[in-house]
Amino acid sequence: MFQYYIDFNTENTQFPNKRITSSLPNMQWIMGYVDKTTGARKGSENSVIGITSKDDESKLRGSRGVLYLIEEAGTFARLLNLYQVTRPSVEDGDSVWGLIFLYGTAGDNESDFSSMQELMYNPRGYNINALPNVYDKEG
């Protein structure tokens, strides 16, 4: 999905669109350019890296990011472990500089929604911004 969005932005917005790296197989994109005279990398060098965690949430241990998108979070049987491994990457003590965005609930019989449910119903225990639950009639 990211490849589609970055290509759309390149064609339709004024945002910088030169890329040092654009690799769908490696799921890595780095914005910027290489100076033809010096060979130095220039530009913002903002980067996006896609990591598939599957059943090994430790792949994200030690990373540092501003935005983590956890897609189809409702399908992760070990979502709480993944969240706890990722959380130090966006906060240090009382300081928070990044965002972990969990989305997608998946409605099939194979999904384990219990971890997502735990995060939704006990957000303060996980340092998640709590919003009023206007959808559940009970409780």
Same-domain pairing of 56 and 44:
no
Domain with 70, as residue range(s), is 51-126
How far apart, in whole angstroms, are the C-alpha atoms of residue 22 and residue 67? 19
Residue 135 forms part of a structural domain: no
Size of the chain in residues: 139
Same-domain pairing of 57 and 115:
yes
Same-domain pairing of 69 and 105:
yes
pLDDT in tens, 90-136: 988 888 889 999 888 766 777 778 888 888 889 999 999 888 888 87
Residues in Cβ contact with 122 at an 8 Å cutoff, skipping those fewer than 6 apart: none
pTM of the predicted model over 0.75: no
Same-domain pairing of 36 and 82:
no
Residue 132 forms part of a structural domain: no
Same-domain pairing of 34 and 60:
no
